[in-house]
Amino acid sequence: MQTATQRVEPKVERSEDRVQSGLEQLAQAQTKVTEVYQERYAQAAQRYLDAVRAASEPLRDEPFRVTSPLDVLRDVSSYWVDFTQRSILFWDTLRQRGNNWVEHEKAGKPPLLDFDWQMVADARTFERPVNYALVRIVPPEGIQTDPELRPFVIIDPRAGHGPGIGGFKQDSQVGVALKAGHPVYCVIFFPEPMPEQTLADVSRAEAEFLRIVGGRHPKTRKPVLFGNCQGGWASMLVGAMEPDLVGPIVINGAPMSYWAGNDGENPMRYAGGMLGGAWPALLASDLGAGTFDGAYLVENFEYLNPANTYFDKYYTLFSKIDTEPERFLEFERWWGGFFLMNRQEIRWIVENLFVGNNLADGDAEWSEGRAFDLRAVKSPIILFASLGDNITPPQQAFNWVADLYPTTEALKANGQVIVGLMHESVGHLGIFVSGSVAKREYTQITDLIGYIEHLPPGLYGMQVEEQSDNGSVRYDVLLTERRVEDLQVLQRYSRKDEMPFQAVEKTSEALVSAYETFVHPAMTATVTPTGAAMRRAMHPQRAQRWAVSDLNPFLWPLKGMADMARANRVSRNSDGPMTMMEQWTAAVTSASWDLYRDLRDATVENTFFRTYGPAGIGMAVEEKEAVPEELNDVRNAPPVKDALTHIEEGDATRGMVRAALLLMKAGTGRRRLSTMKRARELVGKEIGLLDMPAEVAQAIIREQSYIVDFEPVKALTALPKLLRTSADRRRLLDLLDRVEGRIEANEKQVTLMSEIRRLLSDGDTSRKTEAEPITVTLADGKAEVRSEAMVRQRSARHARDTRRTRANP
């Protein structure tokens, strides 16, 4: 009896300790939530006061230039005439927006590409039909494309709007690729989904598009896949489903890790929890007779910034009415095109991505028992995100890498190359439509594509450097090796604030089950397609457009009034008191909307963590009972293990690749695109990789990078066994001579080149290797290349440098 008691007591104590620990965590979390809430309220109030103070500065610092009542009368008179004319022109511009929307609807909502295009394949005719198509971009006059250059395929987001954002203007992803000579294709989609189509069907169709593009360009490497926003994860799904069809993948502003974000910066990540999970999307689909209206998604975007939605963009148009309408109308043509999804598609997206965050975990199934595995993607990946993006923050764009690969070594063992590029300020839409981003970032990304497949596996940070050259600006790309562990700096609280989202997922599952059981059958029986179409027509996003168009007879006189106003424009005094009062009112109005947004977001965030935080912490405490899964020894991963068994085997190409990787590892961990270009010009053809299929070249680089990473000493000493003949050794020595002096090298690389020369020099190489033991230092500082010959070389070099210094003090 005593023994039994002794056995039970420790378990009770552990359980009590666990509960006590959970209660302490809960108390700390609730205290932190309260502190953050109070801090955010104070910051919001301070920002509002600062904005009002800044708006009032001109009124205080520069007194009204009024010398008589006549001056006041003139200023008021000219201002009100101008105000009236601007008002007429403003409403006429909104009328034109409405007319454009009506005409676009009548035309079937074609893609808003700023380029001519030709249909290549219509997936509505496929065995499993979907509302997608592949089109070829016709190069504009004066631009020639080379069919033997690898093609680019661009997938735009299907997130409420229509296709075309990747080629919305000449300075765009499409324009940049065309100017570089690449054939360009776009994946477009039609307004209404095919019956019963699924996201898996869409991925199959996109894979078939890539197969078609590859067949049209058989002499090139695999197509480059550009994915924008939601098109980014769509591109990754294709890469996971059919990795052999895909070349490098570039995903721009693409949410991949949906729970990620920072408090006070990313309010959209709380939407799923505040709505109770996925059931509102199912309700909206049922109200649409089985189709989900993309206008709801657009409304969510506008919800984020009410100042811009309800005031700023309209005041900008009003205040610049003589120059702004063209830009305003062009953007509104795309922003006002609302596309539909079916119930299965939106349910998969919400449950697996927004609420479940299953993609990075490998739990997003595309058919029963078969999930998308992002580790299957073997192509290099470029991630482009921005710190100014509050729709897809950098955490959501990058954290999936850390979810998928717990360590840098695990990423390398899978043979993956990932390059991350971070913009400092551009917003979400600016990533796709900004002309300056297209000229700077996308031009450099396109340039890098030709070299990225020859990078050894790893995580790289990409930085675009701007350099002035005789009055002109030129760019260079700097790649810096990073560690997966470094991604933690993007997120506060070490991602502990993601725990409540697990409770959101469980809540969503329960509510969806209840909805499907009790509500869905009734909705299916009562909602008709005609009623659904009427509800869509009356959605505020549509109503504000057709109501202010020529469909409204009360607005028919507006065009004539606008023509009269343009013909008799009166300019106002831009420094007059009335104009200054208008600008002050506009600034304060915008600041008031921002104050409302900040207080609203703080309240929503506080409510979210108080609602789901306790359950999230409780679930985390329960999970501590499970035995943590031990990380696999990366050295024993099959590709690494296989490579290490072939250290002394290989041909001259492998030997030269190994020598190049050893020299890279001895460097600073930085690579410049301009340097890679020079190296390719100097020695690229002789190494032999350029003439191989991309997958063969990548396999060689992966194999040799594993050997260099895990056995650098053996990798170096075994070089003579890969370069068996004098001709092969002489060829590598000639390459080193050609490179040295033309490409910047540090002391370790110079020393390593000398050591390679010694190993490959004529004579008894094996005897020299035994007599002069070698150790190797690479960029991580673990060891250093040392031999007697090297020490003698260093001493001689030091003496020579000393003599030069004395001769030229």
pLDDT score of 624 more than 70: no
CA distances from 531 to 289, 527, 528, 546 (A): 8, 7, 5, 19
Q: Give the separation between CA 794 and CA 792, rounded to whole angstroms.
A: 5
| 145 and 10 housed in the same domain | no
| 373 and 241 housed in the same domain | yes
Q: Give the separation between CA 609 and CA 126, rounded to whole angstroms.
A: 46
**Which of 458, 490, 522 is the last residue in one of the domains?**
490
Which pair of structure tokens corresponds to residue 447?
């340039």
CA distances from 614 to 34, 80, 252, 500 (A): 14, 58, 35, 8
Contact 307, 640 (CB under 8 A): no
Q: Coil, helix or strand for 32?
A: helix
Least confident of 328-342, 404-418, 477-491: 477-491
Nearest Cα neighbor of 473 from 433, 443, 430 is: 443
Q: Coil, helix or strand for 462?
A: strand
| 672 and 776 housed in the same domain | yes
Nearest Cα neighbor of 660 from 587, 608, 716, 588 is: 716
Burial, 530: exposed, middle or buried (Cβ in 10 Å; 0-12, 13-18, 19+)?
A: exposed
pLDDT score of 67 more than 80: no
Q: Give the separation between CA 125 and CA 426, rounded to whole angstroms.
A: 40
182 domain-assigned: yes
Tell me the residue range of the domain where 612 lies: 2-62+592-623
Q: Give the separation between CA 479 and CA 460, rounded to whole angstroms.
A: 6
Position 795 scores a pLDDT of 47
Nearest Cα neighbor of 340 from 378, 382, 290, 380 is: 290
CA distances from 654 to 109, 648, 743 (A): 53, 11, 22
Condensed to tens digits (0 to 9), the pLDDT of residues 762-779 reads 544 443 444 344 454 444
Query: Which amino acid belongs to residue 341?
Result: M
Which pair of structure tokens corresponds to residue 464?
């675009």
Residue 121's pLDDT band (cuts 50, 70, 90): very high
563 domain-assigned: no
Q: Coil, helix or strand for 287?
A: helix
Position 779 scores a pLDDT of 45
Condensed to tens digits (0 to 9), the pLDDT of residues 272-328 reads 999 999 999 999 999 999 999 999 999 999 999 999 999 999 999 999 999 999 999
Nearest Cα neighbor of 154 from 399, 446, 396 is: 446
Condensed to tens digits (0 to 9), the pLDDT of residues 590-608 reads 999 999 999 999 999 999 9
Nearest Cα neighbor of 44 from 651, 697, 523, 603 is: 603
CATH code, domain with 179: 3.40.50.1820
Q: Give the separation between CA 373 and CA 77, rounded to whole angstroms.
A: 68
Query: Which amino acid belongs to residue 202?
Result: V
E strand segments, 519-634: none
| 599 and 679 housed in the same domain | no
Burial, 6: exposed, middle or buried (Cβ in 10 Å; 0-12, 13-18, 19+)?
A: exposed
Nearest Cα neighbor of 113 from 169, 68, 40, 183 is: 169
| 598 and 687 housed in the same domain | no
Domain tally, the chain: 3
Position 29 scores a pLDDT of 75
Quote helix, strand, coil % in the chain, to nearest 5: 60, 10, 30
Which pair of structure tokens corresponds to residue 90?
């403003």
Which pair of structure tokens corresponds to residue 379?
């192509």
Residue 18's pLDDT band (cuts 50, 70, 90): low
For residue 767, the tally of other CB atoms under 10 A from its CB is 9
Position 19 scores a pLDDT of 56
Q: What integer is the mean pLDDT of 541-561?
A: 96
Contact 422, 388 (CB under 8 A): no
Position 765 scores a pLDDT of 43
394 domain-assigned: yes
- The residue behind tokens 């695990």 is 410
Query: Which amino acid belongs to residue 760?
Result: L
Radius of gyration of the CA atoms of the chain, in A: 31
Residue 253's pLDDT band (cuts 50, 70, 90): very high
Q: What integer is the mean pLDDT of 779-798?
A: 48
| 458 and 364 housed in the same domain | yes
285 domain-assigned: no
Condensed to tens digits (0 to 9), the pLDDT of residues 383-392 reads 999 999 988 9
Q: Where is 461: in which H helix or E strand? A: strand 458-469
Residue 108's pLDDT band (cuts 50, 70, 90): very high
Residue 45: CA count within 13 A, CB half-sphere = 6
Q: What integer is the mean pLDDT of 228-245?
A: 95
| 141 and 36 housed in the same domain | no
Which pair of structure tokens corresponds to residue 328?
């305003």
Which pair of structure tokens corresponds to residue 399?
């954290």
Q: Which residue has the higher pLDDT, 400 or 683?
A: 400
Q: What is the DSSP string of 180-242?
A: TT--EEEEEE-SSPPTT--HHHHHHHHHHHHHHHHHH-TTSPPPEEEEETHHHHHHHHHHHH-
Least confident of 432-436, 474-478, 485-489: 485-489
Mean pLDDT, the chain, integer: 87
401 domain-assigned: yes
β-pairing, 472-482 with 458-469?
antiparallel
Position 273 scores a pLDDT of 93
274 domain-assigned: no
Contact 421, 394 (CB under 8 A): no
Position 5 scores a pLDDT of 40
| 644 and 762 housed in the same domain | yes
| 685 and 787 housed in the same domain | yes
180 domain-assigned: yes
pLDDT score of 443 more than 90: yes
pLDDT score of 78 more than 80: yes
247 secondary structure, DSSP code: -
Nearest Cα neighbor of 352 from 372, 332, 325 is: 372
Q: Give the separation between CA 290 and CA 523, rounded to whole angstroms.
A: 10
Nearest Cα neighbor of 652 from 681, 698, 689 is: 689
**Which of 437, 464, 490 is the last residue in one of the domains?**
490
Position 487 scores a pLDDT of 87
Q: What is the DSSP string of 779-790?
A: TT-S---B-HHH
Residue 618's pLDDT band (cuts 50, 70, 90): low
Residue 650's pLDDT band (cuts 50, 70, 90): very high
Residue 554: CA count within 13 A, CB half-sphere = 4
Position 73 scores a pLDDT of 86
First vs last Cα of the chain: how many Å apart? Answer: 91
- Please report which residue ranges of 62-166 form alpha helices under DSSP H: 69-106
Distance of CA 455 to the CA centre of its chain: 20
β-pairing, 117-122 with 132-137?
antiparallel
Q: Which residue has the higher pLDDT, 359 or 11?
A: 359
Q: Give the separation between CA 334 and CA 342, rounded to whole angstroms.
A: 21
Q: What integer is the mean pLDDT of 334-341?
A: 94
pLDDT score of 576 more than 90: no
551 domain-assigned: no
Cα-based torsion angle of the residue sequence 66, 71, 76, 79 in order, rounded to the nearest 10 degrees: -90
| 617 and 763 housed in the same domain | no
Position 537 scores a pLDDT of 97
Burial, 645: exposed, middle or buried (Cβ in 10 Å; 0-12, 13-18, 19+)?
A: exposed
Nearest Cα neighbor of 289 from 193, 160, 367 is: 193
β-pairing, 152-155 with 184-189?
parallel
CA distances from 752 to 759, 777, 791 (A): 11, 9, 12
Least confident of 367-371, 526-530, 728-732: 367-371
- The residue behind tokens 């202010």 is 548
Q: Give the separation between CA 672 and CA 654, rounded to whole angstroms.
A: 23
| 648 and 616 housed in the same domain | no
CA distances from 106 to 118, 337, 546 (A): 21, 12, 12
Q: Coil, helix or strand for 365?
A: strand
662 secondary structure, DSSP code: H
Cα-based torsion angle of the residue sequence 318, 323, 324, 327 in order, rounded to the nearest 10 degrees: 170
Q: What integer is the mean pLDDT of 102-118?
A: 95
Position 744 scores a pLDDT of 81
How does 322-332 read in b/e, with b if 16+ C-beta sit within 10 Å?
eebbeebbbbb
Position 806 scores a pLDDT of 45
CA-based torsion, 306, 312, 317, 323: positive or negative:
negative
If DSSP states are collapsed to H, E and C, what string results for 521-542? Answer: HHHHHHCCHHHHHHHHHCCHHH
Residue 798's pLDDT band (cuts 50, 70, 90): very low
Q: Give the separation between CA 121 and CA 746, rounded to whole angstroms.
A: 53
| 602 and 680 housed in the same domain | no
Q: What integer is the mean pLDDT of 75-102?
A: 96
Distance of CA 385 to the CA centre of its chain: 4
Q: What integer is the mean pLDDT of 543-548?
A: 97
Residue 14's pLDDT band (cuts 50, 70, 90): low
pLDDT score of 617 more than 80: no
Q: Coil, helix or strand for 607?
A: helix
Q: Give the separation between CA 473 and CA 443, rounded to whole angstroms.
A: 13
Cα-based torsion angle of the residue sequence 428, 464, 380, 197 in order, rounded to the nearest 10 degrees: 20
**Which of 460, 490, 520 is the last residue in one of the domains?**
490
**What pTM was estimated for this model as a whole?**
0.89
